[in-house]
Amino acid sequence: MTASIDPAEISKFEAMAAEWWDPRGKFRPLHMMNPVRLDYVVTQIAAQFGRDPRAPAPFRGLRILDIGCGGGLLSEPMARLGAEVVGADAAAGNITVARLHADSQNLSIDYRATTAESLAAAGERFDAVLALEIIEHVADPQDFMTTCCALLRTGGMMICSTLNRTPQSFAMAIVGAEWVLRWLPKGTHDWRRFITPDELYELSRKAGLDPVDRRGMVFNPLRRDWRLSDRDLAVNYITTHLRQDWA
């Protein structure tokens, strides 16, 4: 089952797969953003499941899916924290790179060239689903969110990050990152597919999830670093959604 897969989007990332772990390559923006989004992910998971991030292997016993895992920039930190990690990506080239890098780090990660729909159809269930910088690339965002809900156990959480559809995001993500700085190949993003926070919350509710948190991820061009913001969600933002199953 591949309802959320857009072949054109997959082809873009297949072409860049070999550069996943080059911090100065085409995925430079993700390498720069990764510490701040990782901080958010760890904080949210630890709070939801009552874990102390400072403890040894604090996520031991948790099963985490990194959907659209790419080269494993998030899968590897989750594995180091003790989680049982499944990294899934529809682009087989990404999975090849991810496996090789994990092996070089002596990390055990279950990488699969597959889709969210296939995992759900197989009855796979997780404590947390990470869907970072992927929903703006899927064919049907509502189907994707609904499938992610199906992949969660009751009490599980989905963390989703994406780009807001604003003039600021067009200036930063398209003009700045693709046209001027050339951090990404032109055409990597389609601004029309960006999703506002309110739209994402509505997708979440329709999928059967309870959206509980959203924070902006703000880039400072002078310091060339990122920070979380309670107010500025104009460009990048990250959200948490719970599967409560109250009914």
The predicted-structure confidence for 151-188, as pLDDT tens digits, reads as follows: 999 999 999 999 999 999 888 777 666 665 566 667 67
Distance CA 15, CA 9 (A): 10
The pLDDT value given to residue 247: 43
The sign of the CA dihedral 148, 59, 30, 11 is negative
SS3 115: coil
68 is in an annotated binding site: yes
The pLDDT value given to residue 177: 64
Banded model confidence at residue 30, pLDDT cuts 50, 70, 90? confident
Average pLDDT over residues 4-15: 70
Burial 163-174 (b: 16+ CB within 10 A, else e): bbbbeebbebbb
**Average pLDDT of the chain?**
91
Give the pLDDT confidence of 218-231 residue by residue, as tens digits.
998 888 889 999 99
99 is in an annotated binding site: no
Q: What percent of the chain has pLDDT over 70?
A: 90
The answer to whether 112 and 86 have CB atoms below 8 angstroms apart is yes
The pLDDT value given to residue 222: 82
Q: Which residue in 160, 163, 159, 161 sits closest to 172, CA to CA?
A: 163
The pLDDT value given to residue 100: 92
Average pLDDT over residues 43-70: 97
The one-letter amino acid at 83: A
89 is in an annotated binding site: yes
37 is in an annotated binding site: yes
The pLDDT value given to residue 165: 96
The pLDDT value given to residue 18: 73
CB half-sphere exposure, 64, CA atoms < 13 A = 30
Distance CA 32, CA 225 (A): 7
Q: Which residue in 66, 60, 19 sits closest to 38, CA to CA?
A: 66
Phi, psi of 185 (to 5 degrees): -65, 145
Distance CA 93, CA 23 (A): 18
pLDDT at 246 over 60: no
As given in the structure block, the two tokens for residue 188 are 């990597």
Conformational region of residue 187, where left means phi above 0, alpha means psi within -120 to 50, and beta covers everything else: left
